[in-house]
Chains A and B, each alone.
Chain A
């Protein structure tokens, strides 16, 4: 039966008039949404557009600025410290993100075992993730202190000398990765929820068919939690591209006893992209900093799109 004939075709140039009730509802709706809308326009959209405009100027915090077109972007490419910051950031994205995912999955699998006191263990593993980043970094600084820190003391019992985490550029990033792994509680919880959705029927069938623990993990559990892995991977990559607080506090401590603060200490080994952007911002190079922010935005966007595209190959959506 054809029903389309019953629907009157809209006549070009005419619009159905809103009833009084619809108008009233629209007004009320706009009124309710306006706090968010105004906030979005003032605090999100305006700064974004302004920063895009600033990125093409030599704006230094005062009202006189000149259009420099692509000069900030070109200066960025010529700046050694910019490339140092890019290298350090990519190191964290490539090394720290997979490590965090690996440890999160291992911990989640362990916390999914049916053992006595399981809830208690889950709380213990989750707790570090609610400690503020600055407080957690300060805590780790005390743990890693080479002369009398907790870790160096424990290593000392076994005759191992603690590395100079704060002053040796080789060890500064591993120290930050270590701190990051301590705070993976949030990722563990997300993995845990995914693990609880893995079909028990499938696992039991595989066991009956003679699949051992490793085969069940490799062929059932990991594919079944692959959407979770994708989510954690994307959020982890975004976090690492914007890595700041821990590195900033760490550099403060890497200036042991020094009264002057240079970000990125020791020897620019903790100069990450956002830290360098902040350094430029506080140095009144607002044009340059805005250009950096837009490059970061585009890189994150492209990475996210690339990960989503590539995810077809490793992500399995049941059903």
Chain B
């Protein structure tokens, strides 16, 4: 028996080597999992999402479990654990680069190749948001874009052509003044445009002046650039030129909740509003104020940056595969299924959000929503950009919102305030990028 031991050992080693060589020549298909997990950060309607993913499960004989919505802290913990979800869908791309730098997610290049995901079917701007140094860290799955809504009846009453919305930022200022009404007691009863209502749009205004608060790859802070200072000064006119912030705030205080008929734009107290594509979906304007006579156009541009006409800034949901996902091949298959035009059309026509697939955008369900095509056209515009993010995004946005409040409500000079932010946050950004 002792003599046979070396022979057995050689045979076992040889068999192992042969098996390994065989695997290298043609990789064996990963075993089909019994269950897959999908985590969705935003899921307002978990039952609908579960129903959607059941279709993948039924087609492949796999149980797909959807968990939605999720707190961000759970996501971070799961990504670092040994049992993360097979596919993770985040509300936005803010944290993607940070996760990648920590090794929580791996590039999708191989997955895209093996699952035959057609990248040419994606709109350029949202896809670019997922790219870092040529690697695809995520894939966009549904997006948001802001455009300018205007009230045609208020235009008519002010003697303006209801079919001609402003094309430049100066025109918007002029029209806003023409649409503002002040009663004998000095109360504003109707405003033209309120730049920080109903969302903050400093990013969009900065882009209109050809700038942003980061450089192109988000590695340098540029909050006190001329573009950003000019954007704040432009906003300031709506609060401090010819009226006082107090007058404007007294009007704002009369507004109701975002989804209530008393909301300023819905109630006809302001003629313009910058808002997203969901407003034309079944849960917003058609449900809350069906009689509203309005139009939608891309946000006006600075006359010195006319090349941005018709464009916007895109941001939205992204899907990714955690680095420690148990079965990357099947994660890729699930991702490819999610990105197919039929599924994108089904999910985002239901939620009235922009489809990231060009083929999906042709689905008749989107055309049924009046005005939705405006948003698709803005997303397709070559000048449309994505919102650049960094690991300090949340705190920086809070700080910028505070600067905006001071600029608008105290008519403060934006330059020194933005200089302060630059001094405070530039080292924080550098430090966060080192981690």
Q: Which residues of A contact B (CB under 8 A)?
A: 58, 60-64, 80-81, 145-147, 164, 166-168, 256-260, 262, 266-268, 279, 283-284
Known contacts: A164-B250, A257-B252, A258-B197. The answer to whether A284 contacts B258 by CB under 8 A is no
B197 CB contacts on chain A under 8 angstroms: 257-258
User: Which residues 384-410 in B have Cβ within 8 Å of A in the complex?
Assistant: 394-395, 398, 401-402, 405-406, 409
Whether B246 lies near A164 (C-beta < 8 A) is: yes
Contact in complex: B199, A259 (CB < 8 Å): yes
For B185, the closest partner residue in chain A by CB is A161
Given contacts A164-B246, A164-B249, A259-B198, contact A60 B402 (CB under 8 A): no
What residue of chain B has the Cβ atom nearest to residue A146's Cβ? B253
CB of A62 within 8 A of CB of B77, answer yes
Determine the residue in chain A with the shortest Cβ distance to B264: A257
Cβ of B167 under 8 Å from chain A? no
- A-B pairs under 8 A by CB, number: 71
Instruction: For B80, give the chain A residue with the smallest CB separation.
Output: A62
Bound Cα distance from A260 to B401, whole angstroms: 10
CA gap between A62 and B101 in the complex, in Å = 14
- Bound Cα distance from A60 to B196, whole angstroms: 31
Chain B residues with CB below 8 A from A166, complex form: 253
- With the chains together, A168 CA to B254 CA distance in Å? 14
The 10 A-B pairs at the shortest CB distance, nearest first, are namely A257-B255, A147-B254, A167-B249, A259-B258, A61-B73, A62-B76, A146-B253, A62-B80, A61-B76, A267-B405
Q: Which residues of chain B come closer than 8 Å to A63, judged between CB atoms?
A: 77, 80
Q: Which residues of A contact B401 (CB under 8 A)?
A: 260, 262
Q: Does B67 contact A (CB under 8 A)?
A: no
Residue of A nearest to B408 (CB): A267
Give chain B nearest CB distance to A99 CB in angstroms: 25
Known: A62-B79, A164-B249, A262-B398. A257 touches B405 (CB 8 A): no
- Residues of A near B46 (CB, < 8 A) are none
Q: How far apart sit A64 and B435, CA to CA, in the bound complex (Å)?
A: 11
Report yes or no: A257 in contact with B73, Cβ–Cβ below 8 A: no
Q: CB distance B80 to A258 under 8 Å?
A: no
Q: Within 8 Å CB of B198, what residues of A?
A: 257-259
Q: Judging by beta carbons under 8 Å apart, are A61 and B102 in contact?
A: no
Given contacts A62-B76, A256-B255, A259-B198, contact A267 B409 (CB under 8 A): yes
**Interface 0/1 of B229-241, CB less than 8 Å to A:** 0000000000000
Q: Does the CB pair A284–B73 fall under 8 Å?
A: yes
Nearest CB in chain A: distance from B104 CB, A? 8
Q: A256-B253, A258-B258, A279-B398 are in contact. List 17 more A-B contacts (CB 8 A).
A: A58-B435, A60-B76, A63-B77, A64-B102, A164-B246, A164-B250, A166-B253, A257-B197, A257-B198, A257-B252, A257-B255, A257-B256, A257-B263, A258-B198, A266-B409, A267-B409, A284-B76
Query: Given the complex of chains A and B, what is the CA–CA distance between A259 and B402 in angstroms?
Result: 16
Q: Does the CB pair B395–A61 fall under 8 Å? A: no
The answer to whether residues A260 and B200 also contact, given A62-B76, A283-B394 and a CB cut-off of 8 A, is yes
Q: How far is the CA of A81 from the CA of B402 in the complex (A)?
A: 10
B250-308 contacts to A, CB under 8 A, are 250, 252-258, 263-264
**Hey, which chain A residues are within 8 Å of B256, CB to CB?**
257
